Structure 1
Amino acid sequence: MRRRLPGATRGATVVELPAGTPPRRADARRNISAIVEAATRCLAEDPGVSMSAIATAAGVGRMTLYGHFESRSALVAVVVEHALDRAEAELSAVDVTGDPYDAMTRLLDASWTVTFRNGGLVQAADQALSPDLLERAHTQLVDRAKSVLRRGRSEGRFRKDMPLDWQVTAVQSLLHGAATAVHQGALTAARAPGLVTTSALALLAVPPAPSSGP
């Protein structure tokens, strides 16, 4: 069981703490929420961001930050857990029923939002977290995409002349590549989701039958 630590303000981060964690004072809860929110933003933009930079972004001192999170790995773990919980809620809400093409479009739209928001969190997780948590981070989209793809392939809506795992890998690469391009300024955030969806669906589309000639 885990105990929810509410943020101090409406809309603030809600951090999950292990059961048995002593109750925190209101100012401590505010600091923890501010740190997790700041770390989420900073790590999404720069997976190598320092603890000092995170403390500055959160408006707290290094002593305060380390008083709540004994190491960078401990902080990254909490940030990623929070990001995974939020992503799971958003992706679970996507309607993947009905026409597989339309379902994939909705899933791509939601996946773009999650991928762009989290940015460098995956890379930070790769450097700091356990294999179990990394596996959870990588399978959220994969399991849903595979389900829609299998149905679309069986119904003739998606091509079957390439491995399903390769199709999933290609879609993930488009999502992460677009997010990187936006963070680097090579692509606007407004244009990216449309390009991702159009490119992914073009990749998955059943190729036209070869012409039989005149």
Structure 2
Amino acid sequence: MRASASADRGKRADARRNIEAIVEAATRLLAVDPDASVNEIAKAAGVGRVTLYGHFDSRTALMREVADRAIQQTDQALTGVDLGGDPRDALGRLLEVTWQLTHRFGALVVAASHTLPPEAMQRVHDKPAARVRTLLERGRDAGEFRGDVPIDWQLSVVQAILHGASTAVHRGEITAEAAPVLVRDTVLAALAA
């Protein structure tokens, strides 16, 4: 009986390691190529296709897990950003952390949009956008940010700059190290009153 219990724990530990390897490989590959295949993900995870499908019965199920984890990690990271003080400084801090997350997850959002329902995709952007909106409103009230354009347009500009920087890094046009400052300075210049 003890040997059987030990074997079950070993299998569960192996299964957990496989799941983590699959999710990590999917996150890494899909962040660069939203069309990465299940075969490519399994190979990168060091497991067979049968093992992958043993844990995730479809590409959609795998995408849902990857997206849920990305949302959770994003929320944890952004919750830790100090949004107090001067709205420009606070937005600068938020942008630098957001850039790191955008770069890490990159095209994962594109991949997820092909398989997940629109309401799930909306969740990906809701909380981060709410944080930026709050800072934009504070900055507008303080006269730091432009108030002559719709705030939703400003949010779109911020998002476009973040995603554009991620694409530029993947193309080799800028370095990942230079990107946070470029993103911060470009956004703050575009928003300046």
Which TM-score applies when normalising by structure 1? 0.84
- Measured after TM superposition, the shift of residue 140 of structure 1 is 2.5
Is 2:75 the partner of 1:60? no
Match of 2:102 among 88, 102, 115: 115
Moved more, 151-160 or 184-193: 184-193
- Measured after TM superposition, the shift of residue 130 of structure 1 is 1.9
Map Cα deviations across residues 17-67 of structure 1 (whole Å, 9 max, x no partner).
xxxxxxx71111111011011111011010100000000000001110111
Q: 4+ residue stretches of structure 1 with deviation over 4 A?
A: none
Map Cα deviations across residues 175-209 of structure 1 (whole Å, 9 max, x no partner).
00000111122221111111111100000111xxx
Q: Which residue of structure 2 aligns with residue 195 of structure 1?
A: 182
Q: Which residue of structure 2 aligns with residue 131 of structure 1?
A: 118
SS at match of 1:97: coil
Match of 2:62 among 47, 68, 75: 75
CA distance in 1 between counterparts of 2:92 and 2:173 reads: 24
Match of 1:159 among 142, 146, 163: 146
Give the count of matched residue pairs. Answer: 183
Moved more, 171-180 or 132-141: 132-141
Q: Which residue of structure 2 aligns with residue 99 of structure 1?
A: 86
Calculate percent identity across the aligned residue pairs. 54
Specify the code of the residue in structure 2 equivalent to 1:53. E
**1:18-33 alignment to 2 at 5 Å?**
25-33=12-20
CA distance in 2 between counterparts of 1:108 and 1:77 reads: 26
CA distance in 2 between counterparts of 1:194 and 1:69 reads: 39
Higher relative contact order (CA 8 A, sep 6+): 2
Q: Which residue of structure 2 aligns with residue 36 of structure 1?
A: 23
Is 2:112 the partner of 1:147? no
CA distance in 2 between counterparts of 1:131 and 1:177 reads: 22
SS at match of 1:25: helix
CA distance in 2 between counterparts of 1:67 and 1:199 reads: 46
Higher helix share: 2
- Aligned-residue RMSD, C-alpha: 0.9
Map Cα deviations across residues 126-172 of structure 1 (whole Å, 9 max, x no partner).
10112221111021221000000001101111111111111110010
Which TM-score applies when normalising by structure 2? 0.92
Specify the code of the residue in structure 1 equivalent to 2:190. L
What 5-or-longer segments of structure 1 have no aligned partner? Answer: 1-23, 207-214
Q: Which residue of structure 1 aligns with residue 8 of structure 2?
A: none
Q: Which residue of structure 2 aligns with residue 21 of structure 1?
A: none
Specify the code of the residue in structure 1 equivalent to 2:159. Q
